[in-house]
Structure 1
Amino acid sequence: MSKKQQALILSAPLFGDVHPKEQHEFNGFPCSGCQGNGWHWKEDKWGDRIKEPCSVCGGTRKLKAVVTIEWKADS
């Protein structure tokens, strides 16, 4: 089966002293907290089952990765 994979290829910037930091966002990852459901089953004070939004993704069912790159001199 095919698998979608996101990648970031690094190359040093031309003007590293002007732009020493970069930030990239990768989105569309299924939430690992709720397995992409967006909620968890909980019981209220009367014992009824209710859906509670996931505390990891906030109910959106997806996560994004924010990658920050800081360019420094190699020592």
Structure 2
Amino acid sequence: MYKTIAETARDLSMPEDQVQRYIYEGRIKAVHDGEQFLINSTQFDMYHEQLERIKEEIEIWRNTPLPEDPDVKDED
């Protein structure tokens, strides 16, 4: 599915000028139809998968209790 710069920026949660700059730098692949750039959204599938995996790992990390410190009860 092809999307415009505005739609892609909204999906990636970044400003439109940054998406446009990434297109010019070659970091985002796009085609120009004579009027506007069109971006194939399937190139971001792995990005979204990795983002979801990172969110899950952060949530697991937040919910993991800290181990009890063995030196807390040690009084000299």
How high is the TM-score relative to the length of structure 1? 0.22
Query: What TM-score, normalized by structure 2, do the two folds share?
Result: 0.22
More helix as a share of residues: 2
Larger Rg: 2
